Structure 1
Amino acid sequence: GRVLVAHNAAFDWSMIAREYARAAVTAPVEQRLCTIALAKELRLPLPNHKLESLAAHFGVVQQHAHHALDDARVLAEAFRPSLHAAAKGGVRLPLLECRPLTEWYDSPVTPRAGYRPSQGQGSWRPSRKRPTCPYPNPGRYESDKPLMQGMRVAFSGDTSIDRELLEDRAVEAGLHVATSVSRLTSLLVTNDPDSATSKTVKAKSFGTPVLEESAFTHLLRDVAPAVSVVVPKPSPSSE
C-alpha cells in the first residue's frame, strides 16, 4: 500500500512487474515515484541524473556505489531533502500508477546457433486502458493559440519528462492521447521533428502541427475548455 521509490523507477518497476506476472500474483504497490523525475521537477542543478550526482548535491556519502544495500541507503537519504524541497516549493510529486503486466505478446526472435527455446519467444506488456476522452475533437492545434480540451495528441521519441507522466498530465488536462498519427491528430509532440519515425513521417504527410516537449508542457498549464456542442431541437412537424 506504500509508494515504490527508485532511481529510474521505470526500469525497476518493469523488472518487478515481470516477476509478479510470471508468478501470477499482484504486486502490493499501486504507485511509484522516480527520483530522477523528481529532481527534474525540482530543477536541481545536477550535471547528470546519476545517483552519485543526486547524492553529492545533498551531501550524502556513498560507501559502496552500485551495491544494492548502500544504493538504497543513499537514495533514502537523498530522497528526504527532496521531499522537503518539493513541499516547500509546492512542487507536485511525479507519482505514476504501477500498472500490472497482464498481456502476453509474441515477439519473433532469431535464435542463436545451438540455442533451443523451451517456450515460445515473447514478453509481457502492461495493460494500458485510458478512459475515453469526454470532449469532442476541436480540430488541429493552431500556432499562438492555447490547447483545447478534446484535442488529439500523439507523442514520438524520447521525452525529458517520463512519458507516462506526460501522457497522464495531458489526459488530466482534458486532451485525448493517441497511440498513432492520423488525419484527426491535432498535434504531434516530439523533440526530434526531423527523425524518420512512422509518426513524424505521417505528421508531415498529413500536415499535422508538430511541437517540442517544452512548448507543449508550457501550453499544458492553461488548456482552454471544450466548446459545448449545442444539438438543435427538431422543429415540430406539421400535420
Structure 2
Amino acid sequence: MTDDRWTLVDVETSGLSVQRDRVLSIAVLNLDGDTVVDEYSTLVNPGCDPGPVHVHGLTPARLRDAPRYDEVAAEIHGRLQSRILVAHNAAFDHGFLSAEAVRLGDALPTQQRLCTVALTRRLQLNVPNAKLSTLTRYWRIPHRRAHDAREDVVALAGVFRQSRSLAASLGLPLPIVSCGVDAKASPSRSGTTRAPRPPKRNCPFRNPGRFHESTGLIQGMRVAITGPLSRPRGEVVDALTTAGLDVTGSVSARTSVLVTNEPSDSTKSRAADAHGVPIIDERTLFRLLDRVRPGTPADAPVEVEPHQPVRASGNAHANPIASGVQRGPWSRRRVLLVGGRHVEATIMRSRLIQLGALPAVNLTAGVTDVLVLDGGDGDPRMPRIRERGLTVLAPRDVNALLGTAAGDPPSAPMTPPSDEHEPVVVPAGGVVDLPPEVDDLTVNVSWSVASDADVDVVAFELGTDDLVPSDSHFVFYNQPYGPTSATQLSIDGDREQAIHIDLAAIDDGISRVTVAAALDGPGSFGDIGALGVTVDGGERLLASSVLDAATTERTMIVAEIYRRSGLWRVRAVGQGYDHGLAELVVGYGVEVDQ
C-alpha cells in the first residue's frame, strides 16, 4: 500500500447505530499526494425511514429513485482498494461502510484508516473543538453546506491537506491505525482480532452480596463452581440460572458463594480463601435451591450517594470551574520537556503546572516553549524547535519564578499567546465541576509518539459499591460499548484513545465512571512518560492535565467522572499500580477467566 494514496469519505446516515441504521448518501474523493485524481458521490435508497431529515435534508421523496447500496458498492469498494481511508470521525464512516458490506456478504477492502479528529487533537490546534465546521473556519476553507456528503468531503480534503502539511513540519507521524479486512470481526487496537469470551446469560437481578446460612440464597447472588460434581455441570448451571442466580466462571470479591465437593488448592478455591468467599457443597446447594428468596431487579432505580474525591493537599486548582481558580503567570502556555531522567521530568512538569502552564507530551502546533533538561540539546526535535522560533527555557528559569532555586527569571518574552480556548490546567487530584448544560463528555488520553509501547484505555461503570454491576459495564477494546452505550471507547489514533460518555444516558444505578490505562506488553509507564489528558464537553475543551506515573507502574487510573449534589464532576487521578490489566479489572468486580 502506498502511504500517499488516500480515499476521503463522508457518509450521511439514517441514525447512529451501524446495526440498525443505513447509509443515505456517500461521497468519495481520491487523493494522490495533494492532487485529486477521482471523485464520486451518490444518494442511496436505504429502504427504510431516513431518520433526522432536519439534519441531512434527505427526504423519502429525494431518496425514492436513488440506487440501493448493493448497486453502488462496486463503485465505492473499487475506490477504497489499496488506499488509506480518511474521514472525520473515521470510526463512524468506516463502521457504516463495513456494515453495508457485511449485509452484502462482502468485506470492505480497507486495511488502514486515518481520523482527522484524531489528527487535530495530535496537532493541538487553537480551536474550541474538532468539528469539521470549526476546522474549515480555522483553515479558511470554503464549506457551503454542512451534512451534504459531497460538500463535506471537499471541505475535508482542504482540512486534511493543511493538517498533514503542519504535521510534517512538526515531525509528527500521522495517526494511521489498522482496521483489518474482515468486516465481520471485531478489530482490536492493532487491527487483529481477539477471541471474545463465550456469551454469558445476564442475570436479571442485582447482586445482593455474600451468602449467609441465616438468609440462604437470594436471586442475583454470584455463584462459582469448582471441582467434580455428582450431576452434569450443565444441569447444575441450568438449575442455578433458572432460580435467578448468576453463574460466573471465576471467583472475585463480588462472588457470593463457591460450590465445591472437594475443597482443594484450585485457583478458585485460593481466590475464595483470599476474598473470604463462603464455600458450600453440592448437596447444600440443592437443598437451598428449594427456597431461593426474591431479588431486586437489575433495572430497579437506586439511591445514588455522592462519591467523595480525595483531593490533593493545598490544591489551588481543585474545583476550578466552580470556584474560578486564579491562573498562574504562565497561564495558556504549553511547554514541551526534552531530555532529562524520568524523575527529573516529573518534578519539572509539576512545577510548570504550579505556574499555570500545561506540559506537552509531543511537539505540536500548540507548543509555545521548550524546557531543555540534561541531554535535551541532542533531542532530534531541536532543529524544528529552533526553526519555529519557540522560547527555549532552562530549569533555572522555572525554579527562579517558584523561588525553589537561585537564578534570574527568564529574559525571553513570556506574554501568553492569544488563546481563548485553552482549557483549565488540572493537576493530579484536581476536580472540575462540569457546567449543567454539558451532557456529552469525552476523556481523551494521549502519549508520546516516540514510544513503541502499546497502551489500552478502558472504562468502568461503577455502582455505589465501587464495583461493576456486571461484566458488560467494563468497556475495553473487545467490548467498546457499555450496556446502554452511554460509555464508549474510541480508537482512532496510534497514540491516542478516548472514552465518550453520554451523561444523560447513564443508568441511575451508576454513580461513577472510572477511566484507566494499561500497558499491553513489556515495559512500564516509566518507559512511556507522561499521559496527556483533555476533557471535551459539548462545544469546547473544559480541562487538561498531564499525568506522570513513577517508573514501574503498568496500570494507571486516569480520571473519575462522578455525581455530586446534582452535578457531574471530573477528577484527574494519575494513580499508578505495578500490576497488570487483569488484576485491575478484578479489583472492580469484573470476572476474568482463570
Smaller-chain TM-score bracket: 0.5 to 0.7
Out of 176, 183, 187, which is 2:555 matched to? 187
**CA drift at 1:191:** 2.7
**Aligned pairs for 1:137-216 within 5 A:** 155-156=458-459, 162=491, 165-166=494-495, 171=520, 186-192=554-560, 211=574
Contact 1:32–1:98 (CA under 8 A) maintained in structure 2 = yes
Moved more, 13-22 or 32-41: 13-22
Question: Any unmatched runs of 5+ in structure 2?
Answer: 1-81, 195-342, 347-451, 461-486, 498-517, 525-552, 564-572, 577-594
- The RMSD of aligned alpha carbons is 4.1
Aligned length: 156
- Paired residue for 1:8? 89
Out of 61, 70, 84, which is 2:151 matched to? 70
Contact 2:98–2:183 (CA under 8 A) maintained in structure 1 = yes
Out of 184, 194, 198, which is 1:102 matched to? 184
**Pair 187,151 (structure 1): closer, same or farther in 2 beyond 3 Å:** farther
Distance 2:85 2:455 in 1: 31
Out of 107, 110, 130, which is 1:49 matched to? 130
Distance 2:176 2:154 in 1: 21
**CA drift at 1:190:** 3.7
Give the % identical residues: 31
**CA drift at 1:129:** 2.8
Q: TM-score, normalised by structure 2?
A: 0.23
Distance 2:115 2:453 in 1: 29
**Pair 170,42 (structure 1): closer, same or farther in 2 beyond 3 Å:** farther
**Pair 193,51 (structure 1): closer, same or farther in 2 beyond 3 Å:** closer
Higher RCO structure, 1 or 2 (CA under 8 Å, sep 6+): 1
The secondary structure found in structure 1 opposite 2:494 is: helix
Out of 93, 116, 133, which is 2:174 matched to? 93
- Paired residue for 1:116? none
Higher-Rg member (1/2): 2
Distance 1:34 1:3 in 2: 10
**CA drift at 1:53:** 0.5
Contact 1:64–1:71 (CA under 8 A) maintained in structure 2 = yes
The secondary structure found in structure 1 opposite 2:100 is: helix
The secondary structure found in structure 2 opposite 1:66 is: coil
Q: TM-score, normalised by structure 1?
A: 0.52
**CA drift at 1:211:** 3.4
Structure with the bigger percentage of helix: 1
The secondary structure found in structure 1 opposite 2:184 is: strand
Distance 2:490 2:165 in 1: 21
Distance 1:65 1:13 in 2: 19
- Paired residue for 2:277? none
Distance 2:120 2:455 in 1: 29
Distance 1:65 1:151 in 2: 36
Structure with the bigger percentage of strand: 2
**CA drift at 1:162:** 3.5
**Pair 95,102 (structure 1): closer, same or farther in 2 beyond 3 Å:** same
**CA drift at 1:78:** 1.2
